[in-house]
A and B are shown apart, each in its own frame.
Chain A
Amino acid sequence: MADSSDDEVPKHVLFKDRPEWKDIEPLGEYDSDEEQPVVNIEYSAEFKDCYDYFRAVAQKREYTQRVLDLTDTAIKFNPANYTIWGYRFDTLKALEKDLRPELEYTKRIILKQPKNYQVWNYRNLIVTELQDASNEKELTALALAEDSKNYHAWDYRISILRDFKMYDGELEFATQMIEDDVRNNSAWNYRDFVIHRTNNFWDGVETDVIKSEIEYTLDKITKLMDNESAWSYLRGILANISGGICGSKRVNDFCHNLYYNKGNRCRFLLSFMLDCCFRDHEVTYRTKEGDERGPQLLARIKELCLELATEHDVTRKQYWMHLSKSFEKMIIKAELERQLYPSSEDEDSTCSCSTED
């Protein structure tokens, strides 16, 4: 390990040894004659010294430059101390400081401690005060380059997009992140967020955007079948069209081909087809067709559940068996209702993936 001299940290001087702090009496958490607290942390001398001085100035409500410097040290020792961050913010406001340098300051901390709630929240406060989010995409991209699934970074980027309406180029960003790791679920989630925020989906119309998202996703599934992220995204997109999960002929044919022609038994495919059957039943049981299709669909549902429970997804056996019974109960209930209250309206909708031709 070769340390460059730039990285050398100057030796830390205790606050009690600093002349500019002579007027302050440090304040411990406990008086010396008090009992030992539980969960007693063995603080280093530097940590205790710093926080004793912080408690003293906080009690006096001192908001000065030296307190600002003190919060810097206190944050270094424990960036998760939300009280310190709040005090720092109040001090900056009291001193009428320019908040811009805080961007550089928080950036340094975020890149060192990217999983800390407090620093992201503090940055958000600063950016909101400045009403300037022009650096935020770059910062989150840097954090995501380190850890492409960092929840804080994605969450923060989402809030910035929403608060500052900065959606331009974000679909491309999602595409790039998915390209880097097609199993990065955070990136897929982000894609869903961007797509829904930048498009209007109305009346269940299968718009061009939906069509192209379907193609995009089917392509990813074809390349890596066993990727739950892509299958879930597909469900999310289909939820926007009438017919829902089985409302797209393209997707139905895709599944049908995988299952019947290629013999694919990926658990996500089976689970998808299962929900398709159920949805199909929901849509058709009120129609003339329902008489015949109802029992067919129920049989298919039970078959798929059994296949999953015993062969392709044994870990979730209890769930698939439960689902099979639940579907059966719900379908029988629906059938009974249909016989009791027959409806004349004819909805046409069929799902080609659910039963074999």
Chain B
Amino acid sequence: MENLLKLRDINDIRKNLTLSLEDSTETTEEQIKVEKMVLKKYEDLHAQLNVNHNLPELLKEHHKRFLSSSLEHLSSSYETLDASRPWICYWILHPLSLLGVRLEDSYKSRIVRFLAKCQSPTGGFGGGPGQMPHLAPTYAAVNALAILGTEEAFKVINRPKLYEFLLSVKQSNGSFAMHHRGEVDIRGAYCALSVASLTSIITPELVANTAEWIVSCQTYEGGFAGSPGAEAHGGYAFCGLAALVILNKADLCNHHALLRWLVNRQMSVEGGFQGRTNKQVDSCYSFWQGGAFPLIYTILAKEGLTPENHLFDARALQEYILICCQNIHGGLIDKPGKPRDAYHTCYALSGLSIAQHFLNNKQVLGTYKNELANTHPLYNIRPDLVRKALLYFHSLKNDAT
């Protein structure tokens, strides 16, 4: 089923504006500023609609160009991401694949060789060649290799060593440290389980107590925190839920409270998601919060409560991404006034893809030219590429036994 969405009525948006009260706090003041900027974007677009009926338009060619050039070369402002280079590869390759870009095999090989250099002799991947293994770049590298999807790419991953690395950072309470002596948080659990499930190296030993530890991160608000006691947060909530779904133990958490928390993260004026209660909208949460919805639907389905539609406002989210977060020269941004970067380009487009697809239905804002490929909500990789990787690694598992 296909469905083209129409823009929200601008007057309905105005009705939701935050009012400046006498006892207003710092949070309120900041919120009012953001709403003003966003409303201006919406008003400008509505004015242009008379001239161009095809708006809002996803600037696909511009984004492809921005991503392709970043894959090759980055300015010195990226120096602080020197220890996150597999991430940069993933942040570029994934949105390119959502945009339907096919890379030359020789170019794929070059990326594979770079990622291979980031793999540690002790298993796992580091942030660059020669760096210590770390769960975050390990997740990013494995995902990037899965997106490349060639046998050469799959073969890079040293699975026995990867397994050793994962076990070496596993804590007795079920959690994972990001690296040797590194911080312990819920990202660790997700990154470890994501790569272990994708490459078929999950064992009962690897996941012992992990689901219980993750559940202990669910807060009174309903979302998950990075660690027990801390505040519910979009990125961590996605990690917690996705990890539980991989473990097939989502029923251990309170998913009613989680869903209530999630839907409340969508901003009434902006249409995008915030990461935490009373914080500002940010396009990267289009995926971190938006991507949690399809995972929740799988839990609801088990209870016979499959929803009939996205449980967030898919139209408003698409409005925010398309109208407020595109840099006209390519690349996406956190919110109006911010600079573009690969990270926000990746997660804003991933969120856009989620909003455009509900089960087998499409609901696209603008023309159909705006449509992106679907993404698998557990791994945030295209579903066909997930399948290919799973089949490949699963066959290796059978070989080994």
B151 in the interface (beta carbon within 8 A): no
CA distance A232 to B258 in the complex (A): 12
Contact A239 B220 (CB under 8 A): yes
B366 in the interface (beta carbon within 8 A): no
9 chain-A/chain-B pairs, Cβ below 8 angstroms: A29-B128, A39-B85, A78-B79, A124-B183, A155-B231, A228-B264, A315-B268, A315-B316, A319-B263
CA distance A236 to B12 in the complex (A): 33
Q: Which residues of B contact A (CB under 8 A)?
A: 12, 16, 21, 23, 25-28, 70-76, 78-85, 88-89, 92, 110-111, 113-114, 117, 126-132, 134, 178-183, 219-221, 225-227, 229-233, 259-260, 263-264, 266-268, 271, 276-279, 300, 304-305, 307-313, 316
- Where chain A touches its partner, the secondary structure class is helix
Distance (Å) between the CB of B237 and the closest chain A CB? 13
Which residues of chain A come closer than 8 Å to B132, judged between CB atoms? 82-83, 86
CA distance A192 to B182 in the complex (A): 27
Closest B residue by C-beta to A155 = B230
Closest 4 CB pairs of A and B: A236-B220, A183-B27, A185-B277, A189-B231
Distance (Å) between the CB of A233 and the closest chain B CB? 7
From B128, B183, B219, name the one whose CB has the most chain A CB atoms within 10 angstroms. Answer: B183
Distance (Å) between the CB of A193 and the closest chain B CB? 5
CA distance A144 to B50 in the complex (A): 48
Contact A192 B220 (CB under 8 A): yes
Which residues of chain B come closer than 8 Å to A193, judged between CB atoms? 229-230
Closest A residue by C-beta to B87 = A39
Contact A151 B226 (CB under 8 A): yes
Which residues of chain A come closer than 8 Å to B300, judged between CB atoms? 326
CA distance A158 to B71 in the complex (A): 39
Interface string of A185-200 (1 = CB under 8 A from B): 1100110110001000
Contact A38 B230 (CB under 8 A): no
Partner of B83, one of A83, A148, A159, A239: A83
Partner of B84, one of A80, A120, A182, A197: A80
Which residues of chain A come closer than 8 Å to B28, judged between CB atoms? 183
From A79, A189, A317, name the one whose CB has the most chain B CB atoms within 10 angstroms. Answer: A189
A35 in the interface (beta carbon within 8 A): yes
Apart from A47-B76, A315-B16, what are 18 other A-B pairs with CB-CB below 8 Å?
A29-B130, A38-B89, A38-B114, A39-B72, A41-B81, A80-B84, A82-B131, A82-B179, A180-B26, A192-B219, A232-B220, A232-B221, A317-B313, A318-B313, A319-B259, A319-B311, A322-B309, A329-B304
Partner of A315, one of B73, B227, B260, B266: B266
Closest A residue by C-beta to B26 = A181
Distance (Å) between the CB of A29 and the closest chain B CB? 5
Q: Which residues of A contact B (CB under 8 A)?
A: 29-30, 35, 37-44, 47, 51, 55, 58, 77-83, 86, 89, 117, 120-121, 124-125, 148-149, 151, 154-155, 158-159, 162, 180-186, 189-190, 192-193, 197, 223-224, 227-229, 232-233, 235-236, 239, 271, 313-319, 322, 325-326, 329
Partner of B76, one of A42, A51, A81, A318: A42
Q: A41-B76, A117-B183 are in contact. Are A83 and B231 (CB under 8 A)?
A: no
Contact B312 A318 (CB under 8 A): yes
Contact B278 A83 (CB under 8 A): no
Closest A residue by C-beta to B179 = A82
Partner of A41, one of B82, B182, B264: B82
CA distance A15 to B289 in the complex (A): 46
Closest B residue by C-beta to A162 = B229
Distance (Å) between the CB of A353 and the closest chain B CB? 18
Contact B231 A318 (CB under 8 A): no
Closest A residue by C-beta to B311 = A319
Contact A35 B113 (CB under 8 A): yes
CA distance A227 to B179 in the complex (A): 38
Distance (Å) between the CB of B361 and the closest chain A CB? 13
